Homo-oligomer: A and B are copies of this chain.
Amino acid sequence: MTYQIYFEPVGRRWLGTDDKVSLLEATRQAGVGIASLCGGYGTCGSCKVQILDGQVSPLTEAEEEQLTPTMLADGYRLACQVYPRGNIKVGIPLESLTANQRIQVEGQEVRIPIEPVVKHYHIQLSPPTLDDIRSDVTRVLDYLTERCGLDNLSIDLEVLRHLPGQLRELNWEAALGLREKEIVSLQSNGQARLGLAIDLGTTKIAGYLVDLETGQTLAAAGIMNPQVSYGEDVIARIAYATRGSKEATTLSQLVVTSINELARELCAQSSHAADEIAEVVIVGNTAMHHLFLVLPVRQLGTAPYVPAISNSLDAKARELGLDFAHGCYVHFLPNIAGFVGGDHVAMLLATDIYEADGTVIGIDIGTNTEISLGSRGQLMTCSTASGPAFEGAHIKDGMRATDGAIERVRIVNSQVQYQTINNAAPNGLCGSGILDAVAQLVRSGIIGKKKTRESHPRVRYAKHGCEFVLVNAEESGSGREITITRHDIGEIQLAKGAIRTGINILLGEAGFTASDLNKVIIAGAFGTYLDVTSAITIGMFPQLPLERFSQVGNAAGMGAKLALVSKEQRARAEEIARHAQYIELAAKPHFADEFTRAMLL
């Protein structure tokens, strides 16, 4: 038997001949990394996939135990338990993918009507003669008026500086990029018409190279934000930038250089050149936005935390030091408040919370977590200081989500099952691993309201207090044990407490309780790969049926792409920012009570 497996949304195909090969094994052979904690025994539930089409082997008992009836009804299965019976199409939920697959998914196609703010026009001109001495620009504009009905156009100065040479080189045939009424690029007719969407995060910068005419993502990549060396969080960077204009310029230039490099890399991947990029959209939190634009941040770092600007903004790329098409603009989505920036607006744009049916909450988890509640045209937003614990910081064996980071944990009696990124030897825990670990400790009763089970063989007293040994020294990549300490658990309590407080206060302000929520959308790198069950277990999220949760990947990046290829979406972003009602949590009298309660495990 020969059969084909098509994996969505990664878009990979795999041909099989052996009906003894499980779907899990097939994903591995196809190079589609999915999680598998228990090693294929159907006991961890981490390899769940959705069978979208085709025949497969029947349900096993293990699956009936691990999956909810709703999931089963929706075609969810555990990849380790499934054997194809012919051609099948398999959907892989984001949370089942391992870290090295993520970027690929984050570059998903945009599926909206394409109407970019920069449109391209093909021109073919007659050259000047003694009888036709019109200037080069007049020649171009006359053509656009006669052939395309366009008038009152202007031309970018830098495009103008190159236009006479380029027109003659290209033998008077070219493609022009028009942004509203301004000519922002001139290129040969054969070149691509590209846009770049950037999600400028505090820790990571994600870039998407997009075909402006089809909306297709041609390449996607993520790099570290080099400002990290000047402070892990925005407060440290604000403090640095406030020292003087040299320091502020340094922070901005670091990001400018990185975005230039990222763009060149994305272009190289897809055989393009950076000067084919005619429009850029950047989304980021308010501090990243201000630091990048070299706007003053002193007033952003002290109460009442007022941004210099919350409106959207267009700036010439070259004036920012970005090296794209001569007249290229960068569009920055609007900010909502000092701690709710354009990245959250982009997330709201991509997830449609503003115009959703029912009551929906959207959560963007980071050092600072932004939460919005949408219900019947009402939109409330808050920001909560969840800290860097879920990025692995302030955790004894915490680390970023790179090779060797434990991303999934399961405690079965005295055994610990775990999965590392790229299956490398474990070096520490990334956010989703820490979350799992704490949830498993709660679930197995090792910590929690009950008295600590000091009798567990992996619990011990070290010099800094009580800790749980997750990985022995022999197994670990570094040769050192990997443990979870009491202090680590405290950090996670602070983090999850902050998030839950935000959710609860927003619900209260809008007059709802958690059970009124029709949907909980979780965005961002950590939010997408966390285990929702674990998050519920530790009380970070309210107890709701699993199917009401939706993990959507880099929704901020997706929103940036939407704003890149659609004027309408850009206008919607304005509307979202204008209508969002910002709730200052700390100003609520019951904030301290809520927070104390939300911190409990």
- Distance in Å from the Cβ of A432 to the closest Cβ of chain B? 34
With A161-B296, A164-B299 already in contact, the answer to whether A310 and B130 are too (CB < 8 A) is no
Q: Judge whether A337 and B164 touch: CB under 8 Å.
A: no
Contacting A129 at CB < 8 Å: which of B304, B313, B582?
B304
Q: Judge whether B314 and A154 touch: CB under 8 Å.
A: yes
Binary interface profile of A, 305-318, with partner B (CB < 8 Å = 1, else 0)? 11111110111000
Binary interface profile of A, 125-143, with partner B (CB < 8 Å = 1, else 0)? 0001110111111100100
- Distance in Å from the Cβ of A164 to the closest Cβ of chain B? 4
Interface residues of A in 137-196 (CB under 8 A from B): 137-138, 141, 154-155, 157, 160-161, 163-165, 168
A335: nearest chain-B partner, CB-CB: B135
Complex alpha-carbon distance, A587 and B132, angstroms: 12
Among A134, A135, A299, A335, chain B packs the most CB atoms within 10 A around the CB of A135
Q: Judge whether B135 and A165 touch: CB under 8 Å.
A: no
Contacting A308 at CB < 8 Å: which of B164, B304, B314?
B164
Complex alpha-carbon distance, A530 and B105, angstroms: 78
Q: Judge whether A141 and B295 touch: CB under 8 Å.
A: no
- Distance in Å from the Cβ of A301 to the closest Cβ of chain B? 12
Which chain B positions have C-beta within 8 A of A298?
A: 164
Contacting A160 at CB < 8 Å: which of B129, B135, B308?
B308
A139: nearest chain-B partner, CB-CB: B306
Among A168, A293, A304, A582, chain B packs the most CB atoms within 10 A around the CB of A304
- Distance in Å from the Cβ of A60 to the closest Cβ of chain B? 55
Which chain B positions have C-beta within 8 A of A163?
A: 308
Complex alpha-carbon distance, A129 and B584, angstroms: 12
Which chain B positions have C-beta within 8 A of A155?
A: 309, 311, 313
Q: Judge whether A136 and B299 touch: CB under 8 Å.
A: yes
Which chain B positions have C-beta within 8 A of A161?
A: 293-296, 308
With A129-B304, A130-B303, A304-B128 already in contact, the answer to whether A137 and B294 are too (CB < 8 A) is no
Which chain B positions have C-beta within 8 A of A315?
A: 157
Whether A474 sits at the interface, judged by CB under 8 Å, is no
Whether A319 sits at the interface, judged by CB under 8 Å, is yes
Contact-residue bracket for chain A: 35 or more
Complex alpha-carbon distance, A164 and B335, angstroms: 16
Q: Judge whether B133 and A164 touch: CB under 8 Å.
A: no
- Distance in Å from the Cβ of A117 to the closest Cβ of chain B? 15
Q: Judge whether B295 and A337 touch: CB under 8 Å.
A: no
Complex alpha-carbon distance, A154 and B160, angstroms: 24
Which chain B positions have C-beta within 8 A of A128?
A: 299, 304, 306
Contacting A130 at CB < 8 Å: which of B133, B313, B584?
B584
Which chain B positions have C-beta within 8 A of A337?
A: 133
Complex alpha-carbon distance, A305 and B303, angstroms: 62
Which chain B positions have C-beta within 8 A of A305?
A: 133
Complex alpha-carbon distance, A387 and B508, angstroms: 84
Whether A201 sits at the interface, judged by CB under 8 Å, is no
Whether A338 sits at the interface, judged by CB under 8 Å, is yes
Complex alpha-carbon distance, A161 and B128, angstroms: 44
Complex alpha-carbon distance, A144 and B160, angstroms: 35
Complex alpha-carbon distance, A304 and B308, angstroms: 51
Complex alpha-carbon distance, A305 and B133, angstroms: 7
With A130-B584, A164-B296 already in contact, the answer to whether A306 and B157 are too (CB < 8 A) is no
- Distance in Å from the Cβ of A464 to the closest Cβ of chain B? 39
With A128-B306, A165-B296, A296-B165 already in contact, the answer to whether A313 and B135 are too (CB < 8 A) is no
Q: Judge whether B584 and A308 touch: CB under 8 Å.
A: no
Complex alpha-carbon distance, A303 and B161, angstroms: 20
Given contacts A141-B311, A157-B319, A164-B299, 14 further A-B contacts (CB under 8 A): A130-B303, A133-B306, A135-B307, A136-B307, A136-B309, A154-B314, A161-B293, A161-B295, A161-B296, A164-B295, A164-B296, A164-B298, A164-B308, A319-B319
